Every structure is written in C-alpha cells, then in structure tokens.
Amino acid sequence: QVQLVESGGGLVQAGGSLRLSCAASGSIFSIMGWYRQATGKPRELVAFITRGGTTTYADSLTGRFTISRDNAKNTVYLQMYSLTPEDTAVYYCYGDFFGRRWGQGTQVTVSS
C-alpha cells in the first residue's frame, strides 16, 4: 500500500521557521514535492525535487523555502524560513511514479 505521511506542521509566529517532513512507503517516487492550499484559494505548487536532487520552486518562494530529500529514508523535507501570515495553508506532499499520490496534508498557521 502506497502512503505519504506528512508531519511538522503547526502554529508559528511571523518571521519564524518550520520544517515539514513527508515519509513515503510502498513506492519509490521519481519526483516528490509540496503543494499548499490556503482557505478559499486554489492549490498551488511550492516546490519539487527529483530523485537525483534537482529542485524547482515557485517563483514567489525562492529563497525562503528549501526542499530536500533523503532517498534512503524515502522522505522529502520542506524547510521554511521567514514565514508570513500569507504562508498559512494546508501543505500537501505528493509523489510521482506512474501516477501521482498525495499525503493527507498538514496545517501550517503563521500568526502576525
């Protein structure tokens, strides 16, 4: 059974940092990444990373967010810095390998 399980979300003050983790099981994904969805807004891409370590970020987030992965642990991470209330959203992990699988999401709330 293929699963993606996120962790690390929570409440943080503006200017703070958070690190999200997403542990995959049941499949090896060529690409893993993160989307986020704020209330009342469409889901938007945050970043993704290939198994070889090539990264891509949403233009608006470059420099504040860093994506990485540990292939041995089949886990992808999202390190977020200088968070603002506009970063408040549910963050979803995904993996691509002959189709896309999603995690259940983890809430990130940034207070002003």
Euclidean distance between CA atoms 74 and 22, whole angstroms = 9
Partnered with residue 109 across adjacent β-strands are: 11
In the numeric block, which tokens belong to residue 99? 């189709």
Model pLDDT for residues 4-18, shown as the tens digit of each residue? 999 999 999 999 999
CA 69 to chain centre: 11
List, for residues 77-109, the tens digit of each pLDDT value: 999 999 999 999 999 999 998 899 999 999 999
19-50 confidence digits (pLDDT tens): 999 999 988 999 999 999 999 999 999 999 99
Q: What's residue 63's pLDDT?
A: 86
3-state class (DSSP) for residue 83:
coil
Report the alpha-carbon distance of residue 86 to residue 108 in Å, rounded.
10
CA dihedral 69, 75, 79, 85 (to 10 degrees): 140
pLDDT at 60 over 90: no
Q: Which amino acid is at 45?
A: L
